[in-house]
Amino acid sequence: MSNTARSWMYDRLDADEYISPIFTNGLKTFIEFACSNQSFMDGDKIKCPCKKCLNRAFQEVEVAKFHLSKFGFIPNYYLWNKHGETSIGSTSFGMDDTHSPFNEHHDPSYSEMVMDVAGYDFIGRTFDEDPNPEDKKFFDMLEAADRELWSGCKKATQLSVAARLLNIKSEYRIHEQCFNAICQSMKDGLPEDNNMVDSLYETKKLIQALGLPVEHIDCCRSGCMLYWRDNKDLDQCKFCEAQRYKSSTNSSKCSRVAYTRMHYLPLTPRLKRLYASQAIVASMRWHAEDHGHDVGVM
């Protein structure tokens, strides 16, 4: 099936500005196909490819039909890949595991990851003036999600490479100096107009707008206590009296280095991200929607 065969998607209105029968029949075919692939749905909801939802928000079937009739399809959505289609016309019902959006060969959409961070309230917003600093971070992230690593690169974006590098650093415990050297080596080996990050600092700066903060908390080197809350200004452990900071000729508070530090990952922002993610939110709501009352079922 060619793009021409799906021209009905963009011939929504007839000469009298009414919904055309051709569009209505085609829409019925699309809805049937979208509802046949459960792995691309959120419960009974499907991704709505209208010009308002942009294939990002899950909607009830009737709501999606109404949106598509009112706003029309997003431009050039001839291949229904967000609903399980792998090639135009592959509308056979029943998908096997190789078509799952979570299989290992699937290339994650970093644009969708950024939209998950923004949440449903952001979708469809328009700005008549310069965005505030919080929204500006989001726009920068969205730009990075779509920014080619170099002109003509189709396999990676600036954000996707940064996210993968941070994952590799964490998994293999790569030292910061080694990470910087890898980044610089990659940058030098790419075309001159590349957008490759060149250090851990630049990588973290790019990723930080995802809103998953990390707090550093000084600890007693013997493990007695944390220098936190009421104890945050202490210079020695109140149990073993061990010194908090390493000896230094510089007495400035800003330059003092603690013997031991822990990384604290605040829970609330991470829960917010799980509820914002369209891929996970159905599981997060599972208990609240009367599914969690079966005795013996966890």
Give the whole-angstrom CA distance, residue 86 versus residue 54: 19
74-84 pLDDT, tens per residue?
988 988 988 98
- pLDDT surpassing 80 at residue 122: no
Q: Across residues 251-265, what is the average pLDDT?
A: 83
Of the two residues 273 and 238, the one the predictor is more confident about is 238
Give the whole-angstrom CA distance, residue 154 versus residue 188: 19
pLDDT given for residue 25 in this prediction: 92
The residue extents of the domains of the chain are 4-98, 133-210
pLDDT given for residue 168 in this prediction: 92
Mean pLDDT across the chain, nearest whole number? 80
Look at the alpha carbons of 112, 113, 114, 118 in this order and tell me if their dihedral is positive or negative: positive
35-71 pLDDT, tens per residue?
988 888 888 899 999 988 888 888 999 999 999 999 9
pLDDT given for residue 104 in this prediction: 35
